[in-house]
Structure 1
Amino acid sequence: MRITVDPDSGTPPYEQIRQHIDDLITTGSLATGHRLPSVRQLAGDLGLAPGTVARAYRELEQGGLVQTRRGAGTRVIGSNRPAADPLLAKARTYVASARALGCDDAQIKDAIERALTDSSRSRG
């Protein structure tokens, strides 16, 4: 597993890590049971604070993609998502990103409804 973080990106480093791992899981490149590097190891490899990697792992755990257990590390649990539903995968990514911004369920739903309305107007 090779992860890179672009320090010049407008996307926070924890979100870059989360997105990269999410993509690897969604595409099946990381199988169920695969153990992710420890927070300290990945932080050291990337030259980031451990809290940055820990936040990315928490976001992945909240998204149902990984599970962290004391002594067993962080393992992939979400690679069995149906590949036939790419829309659901994108929705999960959107929800995780919105939660990272501090949005609650109502705000997330409102943003989706507004995007749908805007999209309908532009097609009409």
Structure 2
Amino acid sequence: MIAIDQDSSKPPFEQICDQIAGQIHSGDLSVGERLPSVRAMAAQLGIAPGTVAKAYTHLEQSGLVEGRGRSGTHVSAGQDSARGYAARAAADFAGQVRTLGLDIDELLSIVRAALARTR
């Protein structure tokens, strides 16, 4: 189940993306499984349909889901979806930390430490 934290600094579409991606990677959502329609998810979360559509588009661009027209949005197959999501997240992170003045080795050390804490 997806939930929006109104107190989060992350916008709702990012929260949706993160939660769906997490459910895909944990196996809670299976390959080929259909996601709720944009309108249904928006109604469930009490947010605008455009917010859900933006999240689904972002997930599709990341390779985690695929839109099948009137058949809805489904979880994509294969490791490419995980790699695509990771590449997108890494690109977002790189864009955010670029101006901090830290060298690449220091940033990689910080990322490794963060990953170790989540195991």
**TM-score range relative to shorter protein:** 0.7 to 0.9
Aligned 8 A contact 2:63 2:84 in 1: no
| Structure 2 match to 1:91 | 86
Alpha-carbon distance change, 90 to 68 in structure 1, aligned in 2, over 3 angstroms: closer
| Structure 1 match to 2:6 | 7
- Counterpart Cα distance in 1 of 2:107 and 2:28: 33
Unaligned runs of 5+ in 2: 111-119
Q: Which amino acid aligns with 1:18?
A: C
Tell me the number of residue pairs that the alignment of Structure 1 and Structure 2 aligns: 106
Give the TM-score normalised by structure 1: 0.71
Q: Which has the higher contact order (CA 8 A, sep 6+)?
A: 1
Q: Which amino acid aligns with 1:28?
A: G
Give the TM-score normalised by structure 2: 0.74
Aligned-residue offset at 1:75: 0.3
**Which of residues 90, 96, 106 is equivalent to 1:118?**
106
Runs of 4+ in 1 over 6 A off after TM superposition: none
Aligned-residue offset at 1:69: 1.8
Aligned-residue offset at 1:29: 1.2
Aligned 8 A contact 1:26 1:81 in 2: no
Aligned-residue offset at 1:41: 0.3
Q: CA RMSD in A?
A: 3.1
Structure with the higher fraction of residues in helix conformation:
2
